[in-house]
């Protein structure tokens, strides 16, 4: 898909379908802060970060919807050890409603299980597209945070989600190839007009190594894109994270493990911030309606 819903967005624009959202959704739109967790390459910790960040926000009494939009590898559910019957593909195919697929993974934390499916948006008819659009917009109203695990790479599937998010958490490792891929992602997102990108360096040997990796990225971004970029967090490579992930125990949040402590602190920072985009509408209004 060339930004999967692009063709339908055009149809929506042409037919003025933007006015069809319900009054209540128009009233509450924008309350939910959308965060896309993305990366240039895979295996850098996106799913782990999405899950632990979601769990940390939920512990702060925020209602969180985790959405698995890593279309190839929908694996938040694997990390949680659950096997939902329905997923986003069923919703897009019209086999069930979005409300039917959302499962409560922990108090205040809900999961919309993923699978390939969103790319089918360009093959569905206008009536169903509009119903989906309204369903997703209505869903979003129930949450304080929407966290999307987008998958890796600068393809349209990933950037289609990340470009509309209030905040993009770009995960990279100190590995030079990860840095190069992260730069490519920043370039694409900046070109698409989303400069709300913050970097998380994961799997750093130590704080200094993480900072050095970020500085290299920052220098490239400032030199070639002539724009700033900010560091959000440095997460250390810890065996415990790997071990607890394998045991599906991330929600237990190991005592004394830097990863969980740092992400909990991030959640605290985020928790105080309401979405800055209330006037512009919520995430799905932008995603389906195409405001850019
Ligand atoms: N800080 C870390 N220290 C050690 N292992 C980590 C860390 N972050 C992630 N991992 C492990 O790295 C692997 C890839 O993480 P994952 O979150 O699935 O990455 P992605 O979603 O980007 O592909 C997993 O086995 C995970 O447990
Ligand atoms: Mg993943």
Q: What is the overall mean pLDDT for the chain?
A: 84
Residue 174 CA to ligand 2 center (angstroms) comes to: 18
The residue among 276 and 253 whose pLDDT is bigger is 253
Whole-Å CA distances, 51 to 64, 146, 176, 250, 283? 10, 12, 26, 8, 19
Q: What confidence score (pLDDT) does residue 30 get?
A: 56
Q: Average pLDDT, stretch 79-100?
A: 86
Which residue lies with its CA nearest to atom 19 of ligand 1? Answer: 45
Residue 158 CA to ligand 2 center (angstroms) comes to: 12
Least distant ligand from the CA of 245: 1
Bridge pairing between strands 33-39 and 145-152: parallel
Residue 45 CA to ligand 2 center (angstroms) comes to: 7
Residue 26 CA to ligand 2 center (angstroms) comes to: 33
Q: Which of 242, 246, 251 to mutate to test the pocket of ligand 1 (most atoms within 8 A of CB)?
A: 242
Note the pLDDT tens digit of each residue in 186-235: 999 999 999 999 999 999 999 999 999 999 999 999 999 999 999 999 99
Q: What confidence score (pLDDT) does residue 7 get?
A: 56
- Residue 239, SS3 per DSSP: helix
CA separation for the pair 198, 43 (Å, rounded): 18
CA separation for the pair 194, 166 (Å, rounded): 8
Which residue lies with its CA nearest to atom 2 of ligand 1? Answer: 237
Which residue lies with its CA nearest to atom 23 of ligand 1? Answer: 43
Least distant ligand from the CA of 69: 2
Residue 54 CA to ligand 2 center (angstroms) comes to: 14
Least distant ligand from the CA of 70: 2
Q: Is the Cα torsion angle 124, 156, 269, 249 positive or negative in sign?
A: positive
CA separation for the pair 132, 118 (Å, rounded): 11
CA separation for the pair 289, 15 (Å, rounded): 11
Cβ of 159: how many Cβ atoms within 10 Å? Answer: 22
Note the pLDDT tens digit of each residue in 90-132: 888 888 888 899 999 999 999 998 876 666 666 677 787 888 8
Closest ligand 1 atom to Cα of 259: 1
By CB atoms closer than 10 A (0-12, 13-18, 19+), residue 234 is buried
Q: Average pLDDT, stretch 37-63?
A: 94
Name the least confident of 36-45, 74-83, 226-235: 74-83
The residue among 29 and 256 whose pLDDT is bigger is 256
CB 90 within 8 A of CB 96: yes
Containing H/E element for 287?
Answer: helix 283-289
pLDDT of 18 strictly over 50: no
CA separation for the pair 64, 75 (Å, rounded): 17
pLDDT of 175 strictly over 50: yes
Residue 119 CA to ligand 1 center (angstroms) comes to: 26
Q: What confidence score (pLDDT) does residue 9 get?
A: 56
Ligand 1 binding residues, C-beta < 6 A = 39, 42-48, 202-203, 235, 237-238, 241-242, 245, 259
Q: Which of 47, 48, 206 to mutate to test the pocket of ligand 1 (most atoms within 8 A of CB)?
A: 48
Closest ligand 1 atom to Cα of 79: 18
Can you say how many angstroms the Cα of residue 157 is from the centroid of all Cα atoms in its chain? 12
pTM: 0.86
Which residue lies with its CA nearest to atom 8 of ligand 1? Answer: 45
Cβ of 196: how many Cβ atoms within 10 Å? Answer: 15
Task: Please name each of the domains of the chain with its CATH number.
Answer: 32-84+101-115+143-274 (3.40.50.300)
Closest ligand 1 atom to Cα of 70: 21
pLDDT of 89 strictly over 70: yes
């Amino acid at each position: 898909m060339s930004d999967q819903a692009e063709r339908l967005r055009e149809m929506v624009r042409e037919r003025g379908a933007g006015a069809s959202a319900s009054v209540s959704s128009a009233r509450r739109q924008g309350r939910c802060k959308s965060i896309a967790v993305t990366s240039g390459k895979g295996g850098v910790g996106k799913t782990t970060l999405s899950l632990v960040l979601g769990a940390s926000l939920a512990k702060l009494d925020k209602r969180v919807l985790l959405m698995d939009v890593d279309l190839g590898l929908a694996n938040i559910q694997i990390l949680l050890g659950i096997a939902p019957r329905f997923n986003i593909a069923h919703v897009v195919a019209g086999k069930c409603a979005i409300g039917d697929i959302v499962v409560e993974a922990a108090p205040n934390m809900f999961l919309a299980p993923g699978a390939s499916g969103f790319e089918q948006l360009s093959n569905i008819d206008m009536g169903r597209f509009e119903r989906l659009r309204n369903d997703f917009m209505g869903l979003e109203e129930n949450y304080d945070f929407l966290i999307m695990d987008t998958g890796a790479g600068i393809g349209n599937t990933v950037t289609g989600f990340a470009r509309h998010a209030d905040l993009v958490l770009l995960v990279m490792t100190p590995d030079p190839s990860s840095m190069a891929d992260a730069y490519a992602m920043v370039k694409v997102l900046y070109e698409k007009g989303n400069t709300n990108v913050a970097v998380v360096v994961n799997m750093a040997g130590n704080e200094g190594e993480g900072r050095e990796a970020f500085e290299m990225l920052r220098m490239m971004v400032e030199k070639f894109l002539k724009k700033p970029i900010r560091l959000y967090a440095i997460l250390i490579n810890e065996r415990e994270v790997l071990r607890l992930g394998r045991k599906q125990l991330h929600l237990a949040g190991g005592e004394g493990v830097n990863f969980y402590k740092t992400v909990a602190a991030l959640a605290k920072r985020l928790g105080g911030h309401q979405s800055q985009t209330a006037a512009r509408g919520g995430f799905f209004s932008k995603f389906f309606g195409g405001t850019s």
